[in-house]
């Protein structure tokens, strides 16, 4: 967001890593609106999550509110309010309610014939068998006590 902040952070990392970074060439500074799009709306859109990353009708109402502060690092460190699925869970930077999350999955159609070559690949290159790599819904739910939300998948447009 802030070029000065980026340059200050570059001074704190390994000099070899800093030398390989393109960050010093970036002169553009991002607005708070652009940051919200890049960190919320953009990822939701790229993942095809139709009920996330926006505040429109049918959205899940995952909202974070920050108190404006010229020190942006301090501002983003402690949100004023956080809503998860429309429920207030953080107020004045303190957790007021603990909620259980969910595992979001997509189940796009695919050609099951690919499983034969994949099994061969797993057997040849991995120490984990393909059968042990797959997780059943019950294993996911039992593991974290949450639920599974199946996100709609849309056909890819070329």
- Is the pTM above the cut of 0.75? no
Beta bridge partners of 95: 90
| Residue-wise pLDDT tens digits, 85-127 | 889 999 998 999 998 888 888 888 889 999 999 999 999 999 9
Specify the 3-state DSSP secondary structure of 64.
strand
pLDDT in tens, 9-29: 899 999 999 999 988 888 888
Report yes or no: 94 and 140 within 8 Å, Cβ to Cβ.
Answer: no
The answer to whether the beta carbons of residues 140 and 104 sit under 8 Å apart is no
Indicate the pairing of strand 87-91 with strand 81-84.
antiparallel
> Mean pLDDT, the chain, as a whole number?
87
Q: What DSSP character marks residue 78?
A: S
């Amino acid at each position: 967001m802030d070029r000065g902040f980026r340059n200050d952070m570059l001074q704190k990392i390994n000099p070899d890593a800093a030398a390989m970074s393109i960050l010093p060439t970036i002169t553009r500074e991002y607005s708070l609106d652009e940051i919200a799009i890049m960190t919320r709306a953009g990822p939701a859109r790229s993942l095809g999550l139709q009920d996330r990353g926006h505040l429109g009708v049918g959205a899940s109402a995952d909202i974070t509110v920050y108190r404006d502060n010229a020190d942006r690092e301090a501002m983003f460190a402690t949100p004023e309010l956080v809503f998860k699925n429309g429920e207030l869970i953080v107020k004045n930077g303190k957790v007021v309610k603990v909620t259980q999350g969910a595992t979001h999955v997509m189940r796009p159609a695919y050609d099951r014939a690919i499983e034969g070559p994949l099994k061969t690949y797993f057997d040849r290159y991995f120490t984990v068998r393909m059968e042990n790599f797959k997780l059943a819904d019950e294993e996911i739910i039992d593991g974290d006590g949450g639920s599974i939300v199946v996100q709609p998948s849309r056909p890819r447009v070329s």
